[in-house]
Amino acid sequence: MEKITIIGGGSWGTAIAQLFANNGHEVLIYVRDEELKKNINELNLNTRYFPEIKLSERIRATDYLEEAAVYGNILVLAVPTHVNRGILKDIKDKTRKDQIIVSTAKGMEEETFLRNSQIIKEYLDNPIVVLSGPSHAEEVMRGLPTTVVAAARDKEVAQLIQKLMMSSKFRVYTNPDVIGVEIGGAIKNIIAIAAGISDGLGYGDNTKAALITRGLYEMSKIGVAMGGKMLTFAGLSGMGDLVVTCTSAYSRNRNFGVKIGKGLTLTEALKEIGQTVEGVRSTKAFYKWYQKGNFDFEIPITSQIYKVLFEEKDPLQAVDDLMLRCPKQEIEEVVTEENW
């Protein structure tokens, strides 16, 4: 049995808490809302996200961050990317060196272009594991079979998280490519917005399949340029998360895109979703990162989504511009002067 801290009582933080608790571990969730804390402790319910699903009795909640920071041997950061830095500033003098930090956010910081594990390293000198993959919290809470990847530079640390979380309903693989896993998890949200816009415009399966396929290629180009391994993007944090986020009714990024495709503004769509849409900030971050570089590849989907969201470009025109780009080879690496 381990003691586990979950910082963040949202849908994914709650699902991770339930996973650990169902495996026999004691879990403390940090939430900011006193009423939510009370409901978890007295009713075993997260009334905000899963009002009909009983939480394990091994889960309790606190609204005192310092208590949460020192409690667990495993400390899971289950807050959005833009919130991470503030949390880390508050806990940096309270954590212990032997605690393992598990990062679950899927994004890149807008101002610095840092991945979440890099942000964590600015404040904590602890082992870090990145948890990613196709894992909607709603399905995890219902006990539907789910598979994710735990990425860490230290093999033993990754394997420990794998061991602590594995069950008949939740399978965990390990991967040493932290960069690739993080980049895949961030960029899939941008492509999911594009897929949602396509749905909102009334386009069909052909269009979505093209977006997913070309989105995967764009993701891998960016990921490799940032130091990731190409094959990682064929895995759970790449193709796996991309497919589920582009197609699922649970996907906030896709649902946000649908609203944009139907004519809502950025502000209106975010208000209707009512939760963090990581892909919006990721679009801005990766677009600006690309503009500051000198790369031999293009990021057409990310570029068009940026223009739709932040420059008020008509989504229909964005689709036309994607379709009417100059002719290209499908996969440039396949074609060389020697073989074609």
Q: How is 119-177 classified by DSSP, letter by letter?
A: HHHHH--S-EEEEESS--HHHHHTT--EEEEEE-SSHHHHHHHHHHH-BTTEEEEEES-
Domain positions in the chain? 3-176, 179-334
Confidence bin at 335 (pLDDT 50/70/90): confident
188 counts as catalytic = yes
Check 37, 94, 163, 188 and give the catalytic one.
188
Confidence bin at 332 (pLDDT 50/70/90): confident
Q: Between the CA of residue 29 and those of 22, 46, 331, what are the distances in Å?
A: 15, 11, 46
Q: Give the pLDDT confidence of 32-48 residue by residue, as tens digits.
A: 999 999 999 999 999 99
Q: 200 near 259, Cβ under 8 Å? A: yes
- For the entire predicted model, the pTM comes to 0.95
pLDDT of residue 336: 66
The mean of the pLDDT values for the chain is 96
Contacts of 83 (CB under 8 A, 6+ apart): none
Task: Say whether pLDDT at 334 is over 80.
Answer: no
Q: Which of 243, 121, 126, 255 is nearest to 179 (CA)?
A: 121
- Ranges of H-type helices in the chain: 11-22, 34-43, 65-71, 81-91, 116-123, 137-141, 155-165, 178-200, 205-225, 241-247, 252-261, 266-273, 278-291, 300-310, 315-323
pLDDT of residue 337: 58
Q: Which of 122, 76, 66 is nearest to 99 (CA)?
A: 76
CA atoms within 13 A on the CB side of 146: 25
Residues paired with 4 in a beta bridge: 27, 74
115 phi/psi in degrees, rounded to 5: -75, 165
* Count of beta carbons in the 10 Å neighbourhood of residue 99: 20
Domain 179-334, second-level architecture = Orthogonal Bundle (1.10)
What's the whole-number mean pLDDT along residues 100-123? 97
What's the whole-number mean pLDDT along residues 301-312? 98
pLDDT of residue 130: 98
CATH code for the domain defined by 3-176: 3.40.50.720
Confidence bin at 188 (pLDDT 50/70/90): very high
Residues in the chain: 340
Unique residue bearing structure tokens 């319910």: 45
100 phi/psi in degrees, rounded to 5: -95, 130
